[in-house]
Amino acid sequence: MARALVAALVFDILEEDEIEQKKKKKRQRKTWVKEWRSRRPVFSHISLLKELEQSSPADYKNFLRMDPSVYKELLEKVTPYIEKQNTLMRDAISPDERLSVTLRYLATGESYESLKFQSYISTASLSNIIIETFEALIKVLKDFISLPKSEEEWKTIASEFYELWNFPNCLGAVDGKHVNITKPPHSGAYYFNY
């Protein structure tokens, strides 16, 4: 009986030791938020926008491709659709940050990976934020967006682009977007952007 008791104690000790080792092996998260991202309120592009609005309105317009008054009006319209609740774990990304990073994405065509350093928002969050903000913009601006309704209207637009600009099969253009091309040979500075 003493042997059985000793064996049971040894078994208990070994079982507890095995459980402890499994707990240690379990992968632990290194950090909840990268340290540099936790300083978003101080260093993000929102601080830059506030500074530009006060000191350099032309640079503000260049950064977002719109005047501060137009931006504020747009922010007011989309806020109900893109505003999120703060939680005990973290503060939500503000509608201001969400809209401005989306507009910056549209203005520059930068990748999410590049935008994360300006906005201090993770790439995964940016991908969700930008899509959600696009959807909100479509909702609030639907009365300002019009598309041709018939195939004939599309063909008319394409033929006008071809006649005016010698650009076949084009259905629209956006001003202010630069596209990298290889310049034709012997074109001099004609294709150089100053």
pTM of the model as a whole: 0.62
**Between residues 138 and 24, which one has the greater pLDDT?**
138
Rounded to whole angstroms, the Cα distance separating 194 from 188 reads 13
Of 7-21, 109-123, 141-155, 177-191, the poorest mean pLDDT is in 7-21
Per-residue pLDDT tens for 128-182? 999 999 999 999 999 887 888 899 999 999 999 899 988 888 888 766 666 677 7
Domain ranges of the chain: 35-144, 148-194
- Mean pLDDT across the chain: 79
- Residue 43 is encoded by which pair of tokens? 């260093």
Q: Please, what sign has the CA dihedral across residues 23, 28, 124, 98?
A: positive
Collect all residues with Cβ–Cβ distance below 8 Å to 37 and sequence separation of at least 6: 120, 121, 122
Per-residue pLDDT tens for 76-108? 999 999 999 988 877 788 898 899 999 989 888
